[in-house]
A and B are shown apart, each in its own frame.
Chain A
Amino acid sequence: MKIKALSRLAVLILLGVFLARPDWFGWLFAPLTRNGQAAIYTQNSLLNLTLNHLAIVAAATLAGSIVAIGLAVLVTRPAGREFLPLSRTLANAGQTFPPVAVLALAVPVLGFGTAPTLLALFLYGLLPIFENALAGLASVSPDVQEAARGTGMTDGQRLLRVELPLALPTIIAGIRISAIISMGTATIGSTVAASTLGETIIAGLINSNLAFVAQGALVVGALAIIVNTSLFAIERHFSRYRQDQR
């Protein structure tokens, strides 16, 4: 546990230092360059690209969470049960469209920039959150449901005090999966001029500069690791009642 926490901290510090002072790491990336190319991407500051990247992923995941959890709650109520197959189909369709295809289709409508990327990430991230929210809500045992009704909770109280808290760890797991998929997928947003870490990767590919590619990929990877472990810790916090069982 201690080693895990320390390595998490190390990744975070390393990333912070690299983003603040990328030039300190020139020597590290220089071997990947040819013919005296620049070792560090300087067209845009890496820090800004990272913050934009994070903001786009956060916005898409947040919107996806609201819609997916809302939908899952709706179709698990008695009144909304008949919409369950339909909403499953919709969420599945979102996952089936490759994000690149969504980008290509969205650009004529939404123009170049951040908007089509947000749309692609939002659609692509819906399914894991939706399916996990459904599974979490379905996992609440009938006895517990019965007890909640029997103690005199209204439908709303049952949802907020019993069903959602019990489903929360599973829901957060869905958000975590969705967020780390989006973290990687957001890089392709730079093909339609969204300002993400994909920019360095694309620049590197165009100029055959492996150093740029590596920088973008390493930062995205580190972000994914940090987001994954943080959300995992939150997930564990909300399921602590399951842990120390005798």
Chain B
Amino acid sequence: MIEIEHLSKFFDETCVVDDVSMTIPDGALAVIVGTSGSGKTTLLRMINRLVEPSSGRILIDGKDISAIPPHELRRQIGYAIQSHGLFPHRTVGQNIATVPHLLHWEATKVNARVDELLDLFQLDPAEFRDRYPSQLSGGQQQRVGVARALAAAPKLLLMDEPFGALDPIIRARAQEDLRQIQRRLGTTIVLVTHDMNEAIHLGDRIAVMDRAKLLQYDTPQEIVTRPATDFVGELLGSGERPFRLLSLQPLRPFIEQGEATGTAVSVDASLRDALEEALWSGRAAVPVRDGAGKTLGRVTLATAIRQAARPQ
């Protein structure tokens, strides 16, 4: 658990983080979202002491991090940045092994861990281990960057706009991968982004920052349905709100029995996906199938529309 208590940071006279308090439970994926200059990156960088706070404190599992030497603290915390920051003179394998080496792991253990992570990120170890970063595509570099951050199996992973440099298609896949890996490993993740879509898509908790202040820290549902200030509402984009709300709702509770034909949607999809499919194909209902291809029932356009309305 990460407890941030009355944290402030001044650069000279300018306040970049103003009295922020928030608690991130274990295993959560917390997203800090805000415009540039909102202080979100500074807040993140204070968690691994790349920036020292002017006042307030941060506790990780009850321990005040100011008592831990910065380099030791950072070896326990994964850190992935937008431009991945891979060491160009080191191979993919050596890059991933950075923190295990700093922690003096045995060579065999390090090698096994490198291959395990490459597998996890769907990069064939035999093919990629000995390549240099310059020989990888942008998406591959990004994955290696995250693999390096996870190498020593940290309980906490900090990510600063990790998908910012990727094109939309690769970004969507990378986001999906991250969710799955997080579910599998149970890592607590704090991710910074300026993209509200990404925040709602990924976050269990969303912290909205503007001009150094934390405006709202809540679940995505709450943020979408009850934005604390006009600024939060603006970030959401008023035209998008019904769709964002739908995208947060899984299909399963809304499946009903009845006839529906045509392309089916997966039961793991959201109401938004079902709505889009129904609208695009001009159907009043779409069938829902599970992973094995078995039809579970249907979701109607009317249900989706009803659920898109602001909860009272």
Interface residues of A (CB under 8 A from B): 141, 143-144, 146-154, 157, 162, 165-166, 241-242, 244-246
Contacts and interface: CB of A to CB of B under 8 A. Distances in A.
Contact of A244 (B72, B81, B135, B148): B135
B89 A151 contact: no
Given A151-B79, A151-B98, A152-B72, A241 B132 contact: yes
A152 B132 contact: no
Contact of A241 (B72, B74, B85, B88): B88
Nearest to B72: A152
A162 B87 CA distance: 7
B88 A150 contact: no
Kindly list the 7 A-B residue pairs having the minimum CB-CB distance in the complex, ordered from nearest: A147-B85, A152-B74, A152-B75, A150-B79, A143-B85, A241-B132, A143-B83
B134 interface: yes
A241 B99 contact: no
Contacts of A149: 50, 74
Given A151-B79, A151-B99, A241-B134, 12 more contacts: A143-B81, A144-B88, A147-B79, A147-B81, A148-B85, A150-B74, A151-B98, A151-B102, A166-B88, A166-B89, A241-B90, A246-B134
B50 A153 contact: no
A160 to B, nearest CB: 12
A147 B50 contact: no
21 contacts: A143-B85, A144-B85, A147-B85, A147-B86, A150-B48, A151-B74, A151-B102, A152-B70, A152-B72, A152-B73, A154-B71, A165-B89, A166-B88, A166-B89, A241-B88, A241-B132, A241-B133, A241-B134, A242-B134, A245-B134, A246-B135
Contacts of A153: 71, 98, 102
Nearest to A244: B135
A150 B87 contact: no
Nearest to B137: A246
A181 to B, nearest CB: 28
A146 B81 contact: yes
A134 B135 CA distance: 27
A149 B254 CA distance: 49
Given A241-B132, A241-B134, A148 B81 contact: no
A150 B75 CA distance: 8
Contacts of A162: 87
B8 to A, nearest CB: 22
Contacts of A244: 132, 135
